A and B are shown apart, each in its own frame.
Chain A
Amino acid sequence: MGNDSYRVTRRIFGVGVFGAGVVASSLAGIAPARAQGTPKRGGTLVATWGGGEPQACYVPAGGGSSPTFSSSKLFERLGNRTMEGKFQGELAESWKPSADFKSYTIKIRKGVKFHDGKDMTVDDVVYSISEIWKKYAAASALTDFAGVAAPDAETVVMTFNTPIPEFFFSSLLCGNVNYIVPKHVYAGSDPVTNPANNAPIGTGPWKFKEWVRGSHFEYVKHDAYWRKDMPYMDRLIIRYVRDPAGRAAAMEAGDIHIGVFNPVAPPDIKRLTGTGKFVATPKGYEESVWSTTLECNMRNPIFAKREVRQAMFHAVDRSFIAKTVYYGYARPGTSPIYSPNKEFFTADTYKTGFDPKKAAALLDAAGFPKKADGKRFAVNLLAAGWFTENGKIGAYVKQALEDVGIAVNLSVPDRPTSIKRIYTDYDFDMAISNQANPSEPVPSTTQYFTTDGIKKGVPFRNANGYSNPEVDALVAKIKVETDPAKRKELVFQFEKIITVEAPLLPLVELESITVASTKVQNHSNDPNYLAATWYDIWLAS
């Protein structure tokens, strides 16, 4: 297929964190466009992304990157995070914790109107949190949620059963699809099948006008938008093109102005930027860093010894994957917390670098010497086929493991079968999968490693069955530690344990790219730009 329509994304909460320019980029000429001169008003902006049309314009639980992209222009969240890493209010004006950190008081912005002209009130906020966030959008983050109430017309109070760190709470308010939705549209219906999901009514800068299936969304300026005189442009078109070559051609012809999340194939990135009419930037993905991971199924007794797991990673040349499979748009991963995460990443971890000799020695020592046929043991390697790159990595990892004497049977099932085999049936010895993580590690990162992350049938959790009381206790502490400095230390400790234990580690951290015409101003200015509202974008003439 070569088709990347349905990208997996984890719609945990999380959006936030800074980390401008941490990425060692192999690109040239990539400053994100800041406002140059006076913004021009009016006109139509045509945007696309590196995947296909969404299943619905808005999916309450997220539904992947595609509906997140299309819905995030229409809805807004309570908070937002700047490129510099500061949290700021969007539909909330401010929020602050109680002394025991078990409740948070949120001041709601006044004068916000939905696209249908109705005022946004605290009732909408209470409804969204209790009915949408708790049940769909942020279910895995809100495990200790106790309730939400509106004591007056400007205030909403969220209460929890345990202390909640402020960073965690702020990240929650900025979460991917943790939107404020209109109660008068959703109350009394099944939010998943509500027809409004295909013609959403939100508070965002853009108002839904039309969806021509198979082609595009047309959004128009929301005249009653609460940010005065915004947005600058009159229309926003989100155009879907099935293949990267078609996107490149459309951009070259000037028909598409901006494409987020790897809209064109790597060779075309260089060709487009080479004309001087386009810029390519890795900025705007700091809060949604993608990685390709390798994990060992602990249910297989071979992997009970951590030396064997470490050996698997030592056998693989991650630089080769970054260079050849991703054409340099990736970097070797070292820790379960990714390097753009300025809050919690540490380089001071156990390193499983490329060292086949060490891998062989570890395997010998673990009691798996080469047998007469030159093999130590055989494994089933599953590469999740939702990205074509995973299949290629699978082919390479197969060969790398064979080089240290492990027989490998590779399978590259498509998306549904991969999800089922990895996350429901646990039918693999080793698996290649992907994650996209925000800065806040709980629960999105930690649930890959904790015992309570083992949830049969729920994808993008702990599928390898790793269960370590030490890690569980540590994560429990991270969850409730309200002192930022202490919390950071705990996360560092978590990273050290996981890198030594190696049940699952990133092979590479992916460098997502936005390609835009040089005419487009004010883009890539949010750490999760795909899911930003794009209220301030404009097009120079």
Chain B
Amino acid sequence: MQRLELPRFEFIGRFARNRGALIGALLILVVALMALLGPLFFPVDPLRIVGQPELWPGEDPDFPLGTDSLGRDMLSMIVHGARATLLIGLFASAVATVIGVGVGATAGYFGGWIDEIAMRAAELFQTIPNLIFVLTIVVILGSTLTNIVIAIGVVSWTPIARMTRAEFLSLRDREFVQACRAMGMGDLKIIVTEILPNALPPVIVLSSLVVAGAILFESAVSFLGLGDPNVASWGRLVGDGRLLIRSSWYICAIPGVAIMITVLCLNLIGDGLNDALNPKLRDR
């Protein structure tokens, strides 16, 4: 319960001691800047046809990363894709965290049959093959960004719920909680203001990993052609390039590298957060 009271510099110090996490955080910063500032450098809609189709990277200085099968600028699509990709990842993770924390907190705090039902539900969602479920939801409800975000959130909340529940189980009978109860504080207030802040650190670690997972899910959905066609998505770029691997395999390769680097960095950050927030697990 003392975790959050960890002095801030110590937190940063622990995080930065993990060199991988530091590199990851810096790279993600670059990707995020790209997402934020990209539209300034590439003000034109990235889905516009601007040149000859299938120009290799370097073939035309105007298009450093080449063009796709229709003649759209790969670099512009990658830069704009960063925005969509990060946003989808963050929002999906937010959805998963909200559901997961909600279910986990309720289950852990109240226990009994509520806990039983919540954990059965978690088990249920873990049993259904996740990506298949996402695909079905997206196909059935339509390929819009909102639906994709919700679908990914719906299949990603179970680990967060379990983690939150475990934390709540260990915290709910501590003295400070009992003191609050004795003072007549309501359940909701205890959950939100007393236990939750102390339970959050491991949940944050998990949420950062869910962002990475969500990006992978989104890229798979888009790769299979079920993404939102108005959005430049890295996964869709890979899918579009698929029939051209004989002549122009770079169309597949470049956005895939972008996905991999982003996910890699998020995982590194997750590891770093883990080290910083869960000191007892440091040497894992």
Contact = CB atoms under 8 A, between A and B. Distances in A.
A395 B243 contact: no
B56 to A, nearest CB: 15
B39 interface: no
B230 A410 contact: yes
B69 A414 contact: no
A324 interface: yes
Given A396-B70, A411-B229, A2 B49 contact: no
Contacts, number: 56
B71 interface: yes
A412 B70 contact: no
Contacts of B245: 245
Interface string A372-416: 000000000001010010011011101100100000011111100
Nearest to B50: A399
Interface in A244-273: 244-245, 265, 267-268, 271
A216 B86 CA distance: 44
B142 A244 contact: no
A454 B39 CA distance: 44
A324 B246 contact: no
Contacts of B139: 414
A1 B243 CA distance: 10
A327 to B, nearest CB: 9
Contact of A2 (B45, B71, B243): B243
B172 interface: no
Interface in A139-156: none
B240 to A, nearest CB: 8
Interface residues on B, range: 20 to 34
A540 interface: no
Contact of B243 (A244, A271, A383, A414): A244
Given A244-B243, A265-B243, A410 B229 contact: yes
B24 interface: no
Given A392-B70, A395-B70, A396-B70, A413 B143 contact: yes
A267 B249 CA distance: 13
A414 B226 contact: yes
B230 A409 contact: yes
Contacts of B225: 1-2, 385, 388, 391, 414
A412 B247 CA distance: 26
B53 interface: yes
B47 interface: yes
A30 interface: no
A271 B247 CA distance: 11
Contacts of A267: 244, 246-247
Contacts of B45: 399, 402
Given A267-B247, A413-B142, A417-B142, A325 B70 contact: yes
Contact of A324 (B48, B53, B242): B53
Given A325-B70, A394-B229, A413-B142, A399 B47 contact: yes
B71 A324 contact: yes
Contacts of A396: 49, 70
A1 B223 CA distance: 7
Contact of B229 (A268, A395, A402): A395
13 contacts: A1-B225, A2-B239, A2-B242, A267-B244, A324-B53, A324-B71, A392-B69, A392-B70, A395-B47, A396-B49, A398-B47, A412-B143, A414-B225
Given A2-B239, A395-B229, 17 more contacts: A244-B243, A265-B243, A324-B53, A324-B70, A324-B71, A383-B229, A385-B225, A391-B229, A395-B70, A396-B49, A399-B48, A411-B230, A412-B143, A412-B229, A413-B142, A413-B143, A414-B225
Interface of A: 1-2, 244-245, 265, 267-268, 271, 324-325, 383, 385, 388, 391-392, 394-396, 398-399, 402, 409-414, 417
